Homo-oligomer: A and B are copies of this chain.
């Protein structure tokens, strides 16, 4: 679905839409937010999208986040990414720079996701069903303010991100949240992750923590997210 919809500034947002084979009619829609430095067709997103569509009958949309994938980089974004890489090499504190990257993208990303939902739900084989949001790391940093602002989102799978820039928006989220923490995440301190989980105002929120760094989320968590969205959107 290249050009799913012009975003408020008139730009085209490159995106991909997965739908179950040969089916018309209204269905739940899952929005996949990718991680920092990744894009709409990152292998993890592709694998998740296929399972959501094939096993749950959901429509799934992924778009490139601002300054990612097929979208132009800004000077400010490049400067921050350079600074982040520098700190990763020298063992400096990456978290505040990461928070700046997220803040830079959030202002753009929230209205873009809304435009994506508007456009995709007009399609005959998607329709105006309930919406779920899935996003870890950058996808969580951009997802929290979006989920807080968008009443069409009924459930969110979030994680691998801390409270720094997200706590205020998280306190406005009341839909069910499944929240992933990697217990030995080298980028996001454990306390910051737990503080973000604490911040959600949702009556149903469930935290899943597993050992290892952020690249080591176990495969069974994808199974769990399928059941989570099925429980809340079907």
11 A-B pairs besides A183-B198, A220-B227 with CB distance below 8 A are A203-B211, A204-B218, A205-B210, A206-B209, A206-B218, A207-B207, A207-B208, A207-B210, A209-B209, A223-B227, A224-B224
Copies of this chain: 2
Q: Tell me whether B218 and A210 are in contact (CB under 8 A).
A: no
Q: Chain A binding site: helix, strand, loop or mixed by DSSP? A: mixed
- A79 CB-CB contact with B under 8 Å: no
Query: Is A197's beta carbon under 8 Å from chain B?
Result: yes
A210, B220: Cβ atoms under 8 Å?
A: no
Instruction: Name the residue of chain B whose CB is nearest to the CB of A224.
Output: B224
Contact A206:B210 (CB < 8 A) given known A220-B231, A224-B224, A231-B220: yes
Interface size on A, residues (CB 8 A): 18
| Cβ proximity bits A208-234 to B, threshold 8 Å, 1 near / 0 not | 111100000010100110010001000
Q: Which residues of B sit under 8 angstroms from A204, Cβ to Cβ?
A: 211, 218
Residue of B nearest to A223 (CB): B227
Instruction: Evaluate contact between A208 and B206: CB separation under 8 angstroms.
Output: yes
Interface of A toward B, CB cutoff 8 Å: 183, 197-198, 203-211, 218, 220, 223-224, 227, 231
Residue of B nearest to A221 (CB): B206
Q: Is the CB of A208 within 8 A of B211?
A: no
A233–chain B nearest beta-carbon distance, Å: 15
A205 contact set on B, CB distance < 8 A: 210-211
A228 to chain B: closest residue by CB: B220
Q: How far is the CB of A157 from chain B (nearest CB, A)?
A: 14
* Least CB distance, A198 to chain B, in whole angstroms: 8
A231 to chain B, nearest CB (A): 7
Q: Please determine whether A209 and B207 come into contact, CB atoms closer than 8 angstroms.
A: yes
Query: CA A58 – CA B210 in complex, angstroms?
Result: 27
B residues in contact with A198, CB < 8 Å:
183
Q: How far is the CA of A218 from the CA of B227 in the complex (A)?
A: 14
Q: In the bound complex, how far is the Cα of B211 from the Cα of A198, in angstroms?
A: 9
The residue on B at minimum CB distance from A197 is B209
| Bound Cα distance A210, B177 (Å) | 11
**Complex alpha-carbon distance, A205 and B216, angstroms:** 13
The smallest C-beta distance from A207 to any residue of chain B, in angstroms, reads 4
* Interface core residue of A203, A211, A218, A223 (most chain B CB under 10 Å): A211
